[in-house]
Amino acid sequence: MSDIFSRRDVIKQGAVVVGGLSLFGLAACKDKKPKSTDATTTTTTAPAGGSAAGGGDPLIGLDHPTAKSLKYTHDASTVDSSIRVAKSGVPGPEQNCTNCQFYKQVDGKEYGTCQLIPVAGKHVAGKGWCVTWAKKA
């Protein structure tokens, strides 16, 4: 008889252990978020006018000190006409980075480097503008 009880005790204890492990496992998984396989949740940070080289925005931030001091903007058309005035015979509305002497386009992109805003890995938009615009020679 004692042998039967001891087998029952072992079975009961085993069931308790297995049940406890199962609950522990559920608790451990409770806070884990499932991996999404939904392709629609994928986001990109590529700005208009270029791909995100290395995953970051290729354009300089408008809050960069040099960009701010030159009143640089990514879109020349947003600049007040009292600021974007004719220079070297080029009317203000026709001035943008692509026809500025300090601009060099990155191949195949709508942005490029600016000699006056030399920030590694960052660029100015081709349709951008700043107060130091100068006619391309």
Residues binding ligand SF4 (CB under 6 A) = 70, 72, 97, 100, 102-103, 114, 116-117, 124, 128-130, 132-133
Is 2 or 82 the residue whose CB approaches ligand SF4 more closely?
A: 82
Long-range contacts for 20-25 (Cβ within 8 Å, ≥24 apart)?
A: none
Least distance in Å: CB of 109 to ligand SF4? 14
Length of the chain: 137
Nearer to ligand SF4, 31 or 107 (CB): 107
Cα angle vertex 40, ends 121, 57, to 5°? 10
Q: How far is the CB of 92 from ligand SF4 (least distance, A)?
A: 12
* CA 119 from centre of chain: 17
Least distance between ligand SF4 and beta carbon 123 (Å)? 10
Quick one: 23 or 136, whose CB is closer to ligand SF4? Answer: 136
Q: What is the residue type of 24?
A: F
In 3D space, the residue among 78, 57, 61 whose CA is nearest the CA of residue 129 turns out to be 78
